[in-house]
């Protein structure tokens, strides 16, 4: 278990790569940036099954009920087993999942939404 304070971007990336699993037990989350950051480094993610986190984690994350410690522990164990079984393939899939969430794609979808509203 590791808890850290403020990290620079490079320290954050290095830390994300150095851990076995990033656990995000959030009850209220905007986008889910910690999940995307962990996946971008190829790191396993166990996260809450609520808010935006299931969408961000996609098929690469192991979900759990955030108020259920047994559910969380099971998700962490699934992450460890998946890494042991699939290794680099699992890491590559996580990076691909994170690559779906770019600022460019976000802005393009925002533009499409605004365009639909304006052209009605």
pLDDT per residue over 45-54, tens digit each? 999 999 999 9
Number of neighbours of residue 120 by Cβ within 10 angstroms: 5
Give the alpha-carbon dihedral of 84, 90, 78, 37, to 10 degrees. 120
Whether pLDDT at 23 is above 90? yes
Q: Model confidence at 2, in pLDDT bands (50, 70, 90)?
A: low
pTM: 0.84
């Amino acid at each position: 278990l590791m808890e850290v304070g403020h990290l620079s971007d490079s320290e954050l990336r290095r830390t994300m790569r150095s851990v076995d699993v990033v656990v995000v037990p959030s009850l209220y989350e905007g986008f889910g940036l910690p999940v995307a950051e962990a996946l971008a480094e190829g790191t396993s993610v166990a996260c809450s099954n609520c808010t935006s986190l299931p969408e961000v984690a996609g098929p690469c994350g192991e979900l759990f009920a955030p108020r259920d410690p047994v559910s969380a522990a099971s998700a962490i164990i699934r992450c460890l087993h998946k890494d042991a079984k699939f290794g680099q393939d699992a890491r590559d899939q996580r990076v691909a999942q994170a690559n779906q969430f770019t600022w460019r794609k976000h802005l393009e979808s925002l533009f499409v939404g605004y365009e639909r509203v304006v052209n009605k």
